Amino acid sequence: MLHNVDDVRDFDRMLKTRITGFQQKLQEWLSPHRLTLAEARVHSVLMPMVGVYTPGWQALPAVSWGYVELVTEEGLTGTGEWSVDIAPETLDCLRQLAATPGRNLLDLDLEEPLYMAWWDLVGQVLGKPLHILWGDLFERGFTPPDAVPQAAYTWQRFADRDGRDAVTFDSWPEHAKMRAEQGFPAIKMSLSTYQPEEHIELIHNVRDAIGPDVRLRFDAHGSWNFQEARRILSAVQACNIELCEQPFNSLLPHTFYPAGVPVPERSLNDGGYQAEFYFRRMTQLRHEQPVPLSCHWWTPPIVHPAGASVMANQWEPNWYLIERHEGADVSSPDIGLGPWGLWRLYELARFMGMQLTLHSNFEMCLQLYFRSAMCSALMYDTEAAGLYMGTTPRTCHPIDNETIQVGDDVIEGGQFDWTGGHVHLTDEPGHGLRLDPERLEKYRNTPEAQAPHREYSRALYANYLLDRPRRTTQAGWPKPPGPERFDRHTYPYALAHILGGEDRQDVDIELNR
């Protein structure tokens, strides 16, 4: 069945025209100002996790992050955070800036490689907190809220080297209850570890522990097949599930091609068989049961031109898929689109009647704060009574928070206080966060710092014993008794190298974005 989406096409053309106007407006705001680079400080930190980080069949007692401080001749410092490693494009940009002294850091073409640090400087120069700046820039018509609700992200964890902070099948409900008692308005569960059907009992146990008033959502990370997703979602309907993310496997194209054989690029007008199959099944699952569905690729689906970066905002909606399918209820994009692309995608999703949230990043507090500011300015909608046609009441969901799984932070004051379950935005210009030199030194990423974590990680990989061992392999056949062993990991972040590991990791997930 084909849907007439001409109005959506017209709407997206209007959005792109407005973005051009927003960019011109920002350029005018910045034209009286100039900042030049005095020093670029680059840091890599290795931060212990709370317990062991395990999603995607990982076993990481510690994880790395990269930071850049742009110290200007004019006395301002812009600070940015990168997940795992600083992007190569950013490092190249810093080398070019060092080779061209006097370059204006406020030039718009530096936004993409310098990202959070660039916007931090822009906010400081214009004297506005980021959420207020973006609210004004994108003409939202209201003052964005200064408190952003969070969903506490929970998953199975191995204990750390001292035997602390494990989360098991039996202790998970109490762990979720602890987060709910902290004030988090929503709990998220990562459900890829145990036997698929065992998650039914676990979901019911967590719902009983947190009570009826806290929202409950979960992410299967595509680890269930379609039949399992149908059974599990049907069996947990009484648990009042807020949303289910990525309920079944997404048929990653690269896994079907031999090494060295290029995967054909999908064109903008052709869905491709695998995408067609996946979204046809997602649409079918939506129609069969009432649990709202979320998916990284139906946000709605977009296609980036070959060679274009994610932040370039050169993407087009995948009209072929949009005309044929309605694959999700909740739009959950990443901040990798940047403010321009994120605003455009959110407006498109609203126009198509979708609800909104913001996908979690692998992050510490600076990036979480930046993400929360984007959420406040771009995702939030003013309240409306909903008494007449045209209002869109209750479309916004709390955003996922993985930062609660990190042991400390390197910003001044350390990790945020999670009491109340919200990130509170300040009235300081930019994002208002600065790095703590003592914490940077304490957690500096060195081979010596990696060694004990690597040793413990390898011991876990060699004897990957779950508290409830799975009865079948990922292939579905009966599993022989004994520990799990993994020679590859599937996760959208390349993590296996962090502690010097050489395990194979499949990040083919990126091909479906």
Please report, for the domain that includes residue 234, its CATH number. 3.20.20.120
Q: Are residues 96 and 120 in the same domain?
A: yes
Q: If pLDDT is split at 50, 70 and 90, which confidence band does 509 have? A: low
**3 within domain boundaries:** no
**425 within domain boundaries:** no
Q: Are residues 42 and 105 in the same domain?
A: yes
Q: What is the mean pLDDT of residues 183-200?
A: 96
Q: Are residues 227 and 118 in the same domain?
A: no
**226 within domain boundaries:** yes
User: What is residue 385's predicted lDDT score, i.e. its pLDDT?
Assistant: 66
Return mean pLDDT, the chain: 92
Q: Are residues 140 and 168 in the same domain?
A: yes
Instruction: Write the pLDDT tens digit of every residue in 295-330.
Output: 988 899 998 888 899 999 999 999 999 999 999 999
What's the burial of 84, exposed, middle or buried (CB within 10 Å: 0-12/13-18/19+)?
Answer: middle
User: What is residue 224's predicted lDDT score, i.e. its pLDDT?
Assistant: 94
User: What is residue 303's predicted lDDT score, i.e. its pLDDT?
Assistant: 87
Range of lowest pLDDT (38-42, 368-372, 436-440, 466-470): 466-470
Number of domains in the chain: 2
Which of the two residues, 372 and 55, has the higher pLDDT score?
372
CATH number at residue 495: 3.30.390.10
User: What is residue 267's predicted lDDT score, i.e. its pLDDT?
Assistant: 56
Contact 349, 378 (CB under 8 A): no
**Residue 485 one-letter amino acid:** R
What percent helix, strand, coil does the chain show, rounded to 5?
Answer: 35, 20, 45
Q: If pLDDT is split at 50, 70 and 90, which confidence band does 505 have? A: low
Q: If pLDDT is split at 50, 70 and 90, which confidence band does 502 have? A: low
Q: Are residues 89 and 208 in the same domain?
A: no
Range of lowest pLDDT (75-89, 375-389, 458-472): 375-389
Range of lowest pLDDT (12-16, 42-46, 261-265, 426-430): 261-265
The answer to whether residue 107 scores a pLDDT higher than 60 is yes
Q: If pLDDT is split at 50, 70 and 90, which confidence band does 72 have? A: very high
Q: Which residues pair with 399 in a beta bridge?
A: 150
User: What is residue 492's predicted lDDT score, i.e. its pLDDT?
Assistant: 63
Q: Are residues 90 and 141 in the same domain?
A: no
Q: If pLDDT is split at 50, 70 and 90, which confidence band does 512 have? A: very low
Overall pTM surpassing 0.75 (yes/no): yes
How many Å separate Cα 76 from the centre of its chain? 29
Supply 46's token pair. 């290795």
Residue 444: HSE in the Cβ half-sphere, 13 Å Cα cutoff: 10
Q: Are residues 79 and 173 in the same domain?
A: no
**507 within domain boundaries:** yes
Q: Are residues 323 and 400 in the same domain?
A: yes
Supply 7's token pair. 């109005």
Mapping DSSP onto H, E and C, the string for 101-127 reads: CCCCCCCHHHHHHHHHHHHHHHHHHHC
User: What is residue 263's predicted lDDT score, i.e. its pLDDT?
Assistant: 78
Contacts of 468 (CB under 8 A, 6+ apart): 168, 169, 194, 195, 198
**13 within domain boundaries:** no
Q: Are residues 225 and 310 in the same domain?
A: yes
**191 within domain boundaries:** yes
Alpha helices, H only, 31-103: 88-99
Instruction: Write the pLDDT tens digit of every residue in 361-370.
Output: 889 999 999 9
C-alpha distances in Å from residue 183, one per residue of 149, 205, 208, 219, 389: 10, 19, 17, 21, 34
Q: If pLDDT is split at 50, 70 and 90, which confidence band does 513 have? A: very low
**420 within domain boundaries:** no
The answer to whether residue 401 scores a pLDDT higher than 70 is yes
Q: Are residues 353 and 449 in the same domain?
A: no
Q: Are residues 397 and 451 in the same domain?
A: no
Instruction: Write the pLDDT tens digit of every residue in 43-69.
Output: 999 999 999 999 888 899 999 999 999
Contact 316, 15 (CB under 8 A): no
Q: Are residues 143 and 94 in the same domain?
A: no
**436 within domain boundaries:** no
Which of the two residues, 497 and 196, has the higher pLDDT score?
196
Q: If pLDDT is split at 50, 70 and 90, which confidence band does 247 have? A: very high
What residue numbers bound the domain in which 36 lies? Answer: 32-128+442-512
Question: Measured at the alpha carbon of residue 401, what is the angle toward residues 112 and 495, in degrees to the nearest 5?
Answer: 65
Element (H, E) at 49: strand 37-53
Contact 95, 131 (CB under 8 A): no
